[in-house]
Amino acid sequence: MNHKLKRAAVAAAVLFCSPCLPALSAEAPARTELAWTLHYDPKTLDPAKVDDQASEQIRFLTAGVLIRLNRSNLSYEPALAESWNVSTDGKLITLRLRPGLRFSDGSPLTSADVVATFRRVLSPATAAPVAEEFLDPGKVIVDAPDTATVRLHLPNRVVGIASVLDEIAIEPANRITSGAVTSGPFYVAEYKHGEYIRLHRNPFYWKRGNAGAALPYADDLRLDFLENTETEELRFLRGEYALLDHVPTEGFSTLARRMPGVTHDLGPSLNTEQMWFNQSDRAPLPAYEKVWFRDTTFRQAVSLALHRADIARIAYDGHATPANGFISPANTTWYNKALRPVAEDAQSALALLAAKGYRKQGNQLLDPAGHPVKFSILTNSGNRSRERMASIIQQDLAVIGMQVNVVTLDFPALIERLMHTQAYEAAILGLSNVQPDPSAMMNVWLSSSPNHQWNPEEKSPATPWEAEIDKQMRAQALASDTKVRKAAVDRVQSIVSEQLPFIYLVYPNTLCAVSPQLDGVQLSVLQPDVVSSIETMHWKGGRH
Amino acid sequence: MRFSTLIFIGLLGALAAALLLGSSHTYAAQDREHVSDSGSRSYLAGTDELGRDRAVRTAAALLLGLTGACVASALASSLSLLLGSVAALSASWLGRLLLYCGDLFLTLPWIFLLMLVRSALPLTLPPVQSGVVTFLLLAALGAPSFLRLTHERVSRLDKQDWRLHAHAMGLKKSQSGSQLLSHLWPIFWIQFLLYVPACIIAEANLGTLGLGIAEPVPSWGNMVTGLQAAALTSTSHLVYLPVVTLVLVLVALELTIFGAKQ
């Protein structure tokens, strides 16, 4: 009798709970691993020192930030901070932390951790790239009146402060864990140099999905360091990778043919591809070469000689747009529509050079002092689009008599030359624009910045136009009126278009591929593209 | 000796030279309206992803690769012969020292040495000159490979009866060099033949690593690297022309070596 009653009770319980089971399984998919690739090892796991794309992605995946930019609708949403208030003069930001926050090791996250993080980021010893966005990082004061409140006292208004806070990962006070203890959706569980990095879900992550299910849905992320994009695509086709977040153009068409509906061309990204000449005093170059590279007319002639439409069509297989400035047309808020496209005109280029005393002797251009105009262009090896761009540029400049050597280097060796030794003449690289707000580009445009690539870390602006750029960028960062900001940014775009410290080539399109078995994906042109919806991404049907 | 294979290689070279001289396109000229084209009257083997004549580039790569490899191999074999002879005919301590130095050189990771040297080269070094430097390096790296063989051969020759007889008849040591040379010719020839395909493959490998001959000068290395993307996107089999040519040359060389050994 008791046995029968027990059976009946169990049956009743099952019947009672069964309507919930499908809902639960729909709301909280089975945990699983998602894998994709990074093309190279991240240069750092310290979120304060992130300065390259791979490190940026790791930071996005692990960082708990106070405010998060929603990459889909471009709105700023509360994250670790449940609310914030900006004073009328913009100099006091008060943030209220959510209750019950924890780091991935279970330790509580309080205002003390936030204060310590900011102090470390703003410290000159850290040399955090994001510090430049505070304009005067040394004068910023951070304090915490209680365990849940943080106050930022800024010497000047920083417009776009929300975008700055989106880049600052809150870490445990006085502990540099390099991603091992985080307040974001994942933490670094395993890192094998040259092979992969494995991230494990943060069991104490604050965010909840539908019906209160804990985010992220995926248990593990495995990011393989794989430079070879063909191997990456083959593995994606075999189902080993959940997504390809940067599909190279040569693989895009093939992938689209093999797996229709998997590939997505989202149009121009915010990124740019550009060429620049080394104008640094520290560059170990002959004096006459420095004269060329610092001459605006020389740079204008080079720009006029380049066929950007051919670069977009040939180097990017049509998946790029000829560029005329540092803000992409995809950034509709800040793009300067008054800028005209650069029309290729080799004759005008030669005329500009002739006016400065350059002359052609046979096929060779000579400078006024008789030196043949020869220089090398560096770019990173393995990036076929950039190698093709370099070859196209080599041919275009040969028409005006400039002899160009294309030198491809592996990325670390290239960065070493560009950032440290300055032992290069010209380079072609891309710039990833993570945030649409121009304030996020302060670390490139301020002449004192280490990322001011053509002449980094100037003690004072080397030219009047660089001083003007400094002035306008600071002005837009301080202005509260959007129209005033837009005018300042338009002015910077005009200066850059005239002076050409960067000769912009194309805006590459955002190309990605997503496994049809993946759910919870939201596509975006903003970095980190498809990975921006990592918290909700999961395999359909509970695949393990 | 398989003269037929040598003739075949010679014919390939002549065909390549004729193509280069007779074509209206240079290896660097980009026809941007005919990118990745299949074969046509204007472009016999089609064009690559930058609109350059594939046939002309393959011909140039063949001539450059073969010439560079032959020169590097000849230099390596000559150097090996010289050092091996010196090691065999000089004082024993000097001989041992040379052999040990050769063995030590063989243990060096040559790829890193090549990378080191290439990174030390000036960035403005023209592509052809960087190619010359590459092949000279390959020559220097190849010499120690045959050092012990040459040393052994010369040592054995030096102990031959006819050598002793010649010395007894008043022949000076300095005069015996030319006599030795005629006996060493077969070794030189084998070493030369063995090292030519090794140099070709080494240059092709360096090209795939970005250490080979720079653009726009065509080399088997940079053309094979370009095949990685072209093979996926191209619908024409002509895209494999550089690889086919490379394989033909290597097979012909191997058959020549086989014939020479027999």
In sequence order, the 6+-apart residues with CB closer than 8 A to the CB of B128 are B213, B217
Residue-level pLDDT at A116 = 96
Contact assessment for residue A242 and residue A34, using Cβ atoms and an 8 Å cutoff: yes
* One-character DSSP codes across A30-87: PP-EEEEEESS--S-S-GGG--SHHHHHHHHHH---SEEE-TTT--EEESSEEEEEE-
**Pairwise CA distance, residues A132 & A136, whole Å:** 7
Q: Does B35 sit within 8 Å of A406, measured CB to CB?
A: no
B212: pLDDT confidence band, cut at 50, 70 and 90?
A: confident
ipTM at complex level: 0.83
Q: Which two tokens stand for residue B58?
A: 């393959």
Q: For position B173, what pLDDT does the model report?
A: 65
Angstroms from B225 CA to nearest CA on chain A: 9
Q: Which of residues 46-85 of B touch A (CB under 8 A)?
A: 49-51
Q: Which residues of chain A have a CB within 8 Å of the CB of B28?
A: 395
Q: How far is B210 from chain A (nearest CA, A)?
A: 6
Contacts of B208 in chain A (CB under 8 A): none
Cβ of B124 within 8 Å of Cβ of A406? The answer is no
State the virtual CA torsion across A292, A293, A297, A300 in degrees, nearest 10. 140
CB contact under 8 A, A251 and B127: no
Predicted local confidence at residue A250, as pLDDT: 76
Measure the CA–CA gap between A164 and A439, rounded to whole angstroms: 8
> For all residues of chain B together, what is the average pLDDT?
85
Q: What confidence score (pLDDT) does residue A91 get?
A: 92
Instruction: For residue A264, give both structure tokens.
Output: 């997505």
Q: Kindly provide the residue ranges of all beta strands, DSSP E only, lying in A173-323, ordered along the sequence.
A: 186-192, 196-201, 220-225, 243-244, 263-268, 272-277, 320-322
In this prediction, residue B230 carries a pLDDT of 67
**Local confidence pLDDT in tens for the 544 residues of chain A:** 455 555 555 444 444 444 444 333 333 444 589 999 998 999 999 999 998 889 999 999 999 999 998 887 778 899 999 999 999 888 999 999 999 999 999 999 999 999 999 999 999 999 998 898 887 899 999 999 999 999 999 998 887 888 889 999 999 998 888 889 999 999 999 999 999 999 999 999 999 988 888 999 999 999 999 988 888 988 998 989 999 988 888 788 888 888 888 999 999 999 999 999 999 999 999 999 999 999 999 999 999 999 999 999 999 999 999 999 999 998 888 999 999 888 899 999 999 999 999 999 999 999 999 999 999 999 988 788 999 999 999 999 999 999 999 998 888 888 889 988 899 999 999 998 877 888 888 889 999 888 899 998 888 899 999 999 999 998 988 787 889 999 999 999 999 999 999 999 999 999 999 999 899 998 888 878 889 999 999 988 754 3
Query: Exposed (0-12), middle (13-18) or buried (19+): which is B156, by Cβ within 10 Å?
Result: exposed
What pLDDT does residue A28 have? 41
Region of poorest pLDDT, from A39-48, A372-381, B228-237, B252-261: B228-237
> DSSP code of B109?
-
DSSP labels for A355-391?
HTT-EEETTEEE-TTS-B-EEEEEEETT-HHHHHHHH
Is B121's Cβ below 8 Å from some Cβ in A?
no
Least Cα separation, residue A330 to chain B (angstroms) = 28
Contact A405 B50 (CB under 8 A): no
pLDDT for A269: 92
* pLDDT single digits (tens) B26-39: 999 999 999 888 88
pLDDT class of B231 with cuts at 50, 70, 90: low
Alpha helices in A167-278 (DSSP H): 229-237, 249-258
Is pLDDT larger for residue A15 or for residue B211?
Answer: B211
Amino acid identity at A494: S
Q: Which residues contact A345 (CB under 8 A, 6 or more apart)?
A: A304, A305
Task: Tell me whether residue A66 is exposed, middle or buried, using C-beta atoms within 10 angstroms of its C-beta: 0 to 12, 13 to 18, 19 or more.
Answer: buried
Token pair for residue A357? 């005393």
Alpha-carbon span A82 to A208, nearest angstrom: 14
Residue predicted with more confidence, B228 or A330: A330
The answer to whether the Cβ–Cβ distance between A376 and B124 falls below 8 Å is yes
The answer to whether A391 contacts chain B (CB < 8 Å) is yes
Using CA atoms, how far apart are residues A80 and A98, in angstroms rounded to an integer? 6
Q: Give start and end residues of each alpha helix (H) in A284-369.
A: 287-294, 296-305, 308-310, 346-355
Three-state SS letters, A80-119? CEEEEEECCCCCEEEEEECCCCECCCCCECCHHHHHHHHH
Cβ neighbours for B56, distance < 8 A, ≥ 6 positions apart: B19, B20, B23, B25, B26, B27
Report yes or no: A424 at the B interface, CB cutoff 8 Å.
yes
* Single-letter code of the amino acid located at A172: P
Distance (Å, whole) CA B89 – CA B84: 9
Round to whole Å and give the CA distance between A408 and B115.
12
Residues of B in contact with A306 (CB under 8 A): none
Q: Which residues from B are below 8 Å from A391, CB to CB?
A: 30, 50, 215-216
Question: Which residues are CB-neighbours of B31 under 8 A, at least 6 positions away?
Answer: B25, B43, B47, B51, B52, B53
Distance CA A441, CA A129 (A): 10
